[in-house]
Copies of this chain bind each other. A is one copy, B any other.
Amino acid sequence: MLTQTLEDGRKLTDAALERLLPAAGVRPVSIHQAMRHSVFAGGKRIRPILCLEAGRSVAGTLQEGIEELGAALEMLHTYSLIHDDLPALDNDDLRRGRPTCHKVYGEAIAILAGDALQTQAYEVLSQLRCSAEARVKIIEEIARGTGTVNGMIGGQVVDLEAERSKPNAETLEYIHRSKTAALIAASVVTGGIYGNGSAEAVENLRRFGQAIGLAFQIVDDILDVTQTSEQLGKTAGKDIASEKATYPALFGLDESRKKARGLLDDAYNSLQSFGFRAETLNALACFLIERES
């Protein structure tokens, strides 16, 4: 069941991305190739799938056109990865086993490809097949979730600064909540708005998204310690090597696992009023927290 949900969601998202990104042959070709290089690098499309299922959870059925919202979320996630990988930031040569955008296209084009994916996301959002009122709400949620104040960029900044001075637990939680959980929360919140969910349902989805978003990042920290590079498809042990502050480093492995499981319970509790309609989202949450890569 869940395997099918993941597979269907991924295919629907990929088809929308294919349609909504300028073709690789459109002038100027270099940037369109660079955007596509990073967008089609084998991502699992977690954020779009959460968005699709959040919409279904409030509306009862898969909402027509919601995959375009999912595609925009994936464009924003990809823009953040391209910029994170740049030499001035994390300086990563590989992602999912493939050379990063700047390794293939150079730094200038990689910077602009990230910029362009953000821009393209908002063009897509402005044209979504829901009411104009829903579209502006969705745009506002996403801009906040990816912004500087408790959003994705803010988390990235504090993460960069934490490399110089060991953060405490409060700062580490701020980083994870902002850098990772805010966009994941925005994915389920905007799915709920697209599906015309009530204000209460949307706020329940927000609590669900915040809980699984933070848990997702804690699990990421844990896997970096416990798995091999081969299992992860990326360099394992990188956090320890770079003396990065992580949940396991600060709390130990057992306590970190306990925190992740506690957040999973919080997520389940957030959607209690959804009844059986929360089933798929809960299964997704469990899958994300119990994953081994």
Contacts and interface: CB of A to CB of B under 8 A. Distances in A.
Given A26-B149, A88-B106, A148-B22, A157 B31 contact: yes
> How many monomers of this protein are in the complex?
2
A81 interface: no
A248 interface: no
B135 A83 contact: no
A249 interface: no
Interface string A138-158: 011001101111010110111
Nearest to A134: B132
Contacts of A119: 118, 143, 146-148, 151, 153
Secondary structure dominating the interface of A = helix
A109 interface: yes
Contacts of A77: none
Contacts of A106: 88
Contact of A143 (B28, B120, B147, B156): B120
Nearest to A76: B119
B143 A136 contact: no
What size tier do the contact residues of chain A reach?
Answer: 35 or more
Contact of A83 (B30, B115, B126, B133): B115
Contacts of A79: 115
Contact of A28 (B135, B136, B148): B148
Contact of A149 (B22, B30, B144, B147): B22
A133 to B, nearest CB: 5
Contact of A147 (B30, B116, B151): B116
A143 B131 CA distance: 19
Task: Determine which residue in A119, A148, A158 has the highest number of CB atoms from chain B within 10 A of its CB, and name it.
Answer: A148
Nearest to A158: B28
Contacts of A7: none
Given A28-B148, A114-B115, A118-B119, 18 more contacts: A22-B148, A27-B149, A31-B148, A31-B154, A108-B160, A109-B157, A109-B160, A112-B157, A115-B153, A119-B143, A119-B146, A119-B151, A120-B143, A120-B148, A123-B139, A126-B140, A126-B143, A136-B139
Give the 10 A-B CB pairs with smallest separation, nearest first: A123-B143, A88-B107, A132-B132, A126-B140, A126-B139, A28-B157, A132-B133, A88-B108, A122-B143, A31-B157
22 contacts: A22-B149, A27-B154, A31-B154, A83-B111, A83-B112, A86-B111, A89-B108, A108-B160, A109-B160, A112-B153, A112-B157, A114-B115, A116-B147, A118-B118, A119-B151, A120-B143, A122-B139, A123-B140, A125-B139, A126-B137, A126-B140, A132-B133
